[in-house]
Structure 1
Amino acid sequence: MKETFLNLIAYFKNPILKQDSNTNLNYRFKLFFKLLLICVLTGIIITPIFALLEVLDWINMDAHEVEKMFKGMAKWKVLLLGAVVVPVLEELLFRAPITAFNKPKSFRFAFYFFALLFGFVHITNFKMTTNVLLLAPILVLPQILIGFYLGYIRVRLGLQWSMLLHGCYNGFFLAISFL
């Protein structure tokens, strides 16, 4: 686990377009589950920041647009949308294009650009206020970091793996929210 995390950090410092040569399915699933755990832990570690922002009355998390969108929807529909449809569409939009950038400098730029774009697009989940705009980098920090993780697995293992990771990540937090 520690090795996977250190590999992620090293990759984020210098992302390169290089697929993992190990095609063993057991190896790939082990890497996948380690990355899923890192993603979930990242989300859990960052969550108290949002609680603090809400306690300070800087952000109203009850006005979250995703909550409004899913309100009154059957749980199975929420899971289908949030853990299958949205991840597939977002991966096609934000991760599929990065491997089209073959030159090292352009790939590096694309990797960072799409991860940041993915994160900042999620600011639309909040009702726009001055505080939301000022705190945007903090509010979308989980999505930016997940964007990096998803970019990593997309390059190393393939697009279907980033779709799976994204879906499992969303599904985990949706399931928690149902409790």
Structure 2
Amino acid sequence: MNFIARFKKVKSGFLNFWKYPLDYKYQGLSDVNRLKDILIIVFLELLILVPLAFIIDEIQKIGLLNFPDHKLIDMIDGMSIIRVLFIVVIMAPIIEEVLFRGFITFQRFYPVLFLIAILGALGKNKFMAMRVARRLWEICFPFLVIFSVLIFGLAHVWNFKELVSLWLIPIAVSPQLVAGLFLTYARVRYGLIWSMMLHATVNLTALALHYSIY
């Protein structure tokens, strides 16, 4: 498959996922093809994030919005590059992907597994218990992925030194909300390791842009 065809396939896969969120993982893809897809997702994500960050920065410069200072910037500027890379490119992707997206597959969503255990204890047939749990999961899944994106974005409000005005929060965390859309798609369709790789690559790119500008 040439690059253009693969690019269109990945883009349509992402858009279709958010039109109709379904919990299934791409099967039969080699690691090389998964890596190619993730790199395309990185490109698509940065295609939105870079202009968005620029627009937010320009809006602040002309005084239309005023966000508190960012703790992360001070942390980066006060550390060695090795330590920054370890925290931002290695630790943050691992911890955040496990916390915010590790649970959004049927096999990892413990309330559903607990339900199966309860139904089994009540004497329900294992097949029927699994069928009921699966149906419940299909109903809950779209809300769950949206919740994961929102909670990921809102968690980054604490990156600011002071409280952000309530009406400014959606704008302040809009880059993380956008990132959450791509990371959730990668986690569901490709797996947790690949969403970690996507997360790490975007963080590394953001660091490179930060050091090149400042």
Provide the TM-score with structure 2 as the length reference: 0.77
Tell me the amino acid that sits aligned with residue 70 of structure 1: I
2:49–2:178 contact (8 Å) kept in structure 1: no
**1:138 corresponds to:** 171
Shift of 1:26: 2.2
Structure 2 counterpart SS, 1:59: coil
Moved segments of 4+, more than 4 Å: none
Matched, 1:163 2:192: no
Query: Partners of 1:22 and 1:45 in 2: how far apart?
Result: 35
Q: Distance in 2 between matches of 1:161 and 1:59?
A: 35
How many equivalent pairs are there? 177
**Aligned position for 1:150:** 183
Q: 3-state DSSP class of the match of 2:103?
A: helix
1:60 positional shift = 4.3
Q: Take 1:71 and 1:55, find their aligned partners in 2: how far apart are those partners? A: 21
Identity of aligned residues (%): 31
Unaligned runs of 5+ residues in structure 1 are: none
State yes or no: 1:128 paired with 2:162: yes
Q: Distance in 2 between matches of 1:60 and 1:111?
A: 28
Q: In the alignment, residue 37 of structure 1 is paired with which amino acid?
A: F
Query: Which residue of 104, 108, 114 corresponds with 2:142?
Result: 108
Q: Which amino acid aligns with 2:149?
A: A
Aligned to 2:121: none
Q: Give the structure 1 partner of residue 57 of structure 2.
A: 51
1:42 aligned to 2:48? Answer: yes
Q: Would you say 1:19 and 2:52 are equivalent positions?
A: no
Note if 1:88 corresponds to 2:94: yes
Q: Could you say which structure has the larger radius of gyration? A: 2
**3-state DSSP class of the match of 1:78?**
helix
CA distance in 1, matches of 2:205, 2:191: 21
Shift of 1:110: 1.1
Measure the CA separation in 2 of the matches of 1:129 and 1:88: 27
Establish whether residue 177 from structure 1 lines up as the match of residue 210 from structure 2: yes
Moved more, 85-94 or 13-22: 13-22
Listed one character per residue, the Cα deviations across residues 7-34 of structure 1 (whole Å, up to 9, x for unaligned) are 2122112111100012312221111110
Which secondary structure state, in structure 1, belongs to the residue aligned with residue 78 of structure 2?
A: coil
CA separation in 2, counterparts of 1:143 and 1:113? 13
Q: Where does the alignment leave 5 or more consecutive residues of structure 2 unmatched?
A: 1-6, 110-133
Per-residue CA shift, 1:54-110, capped at 9, x if unaligned?
12322246x111012223200111111101101100001001011134511211111
TM-score (norm 1): 0.91
Partner Cα distance (2:88, 2:22) in 1: 30
**Code of the aligned partner of 1:146:** A
Do the aligned partners of 2:42 and 2:202 also contact (CA within 8 Å) in 1?
yes
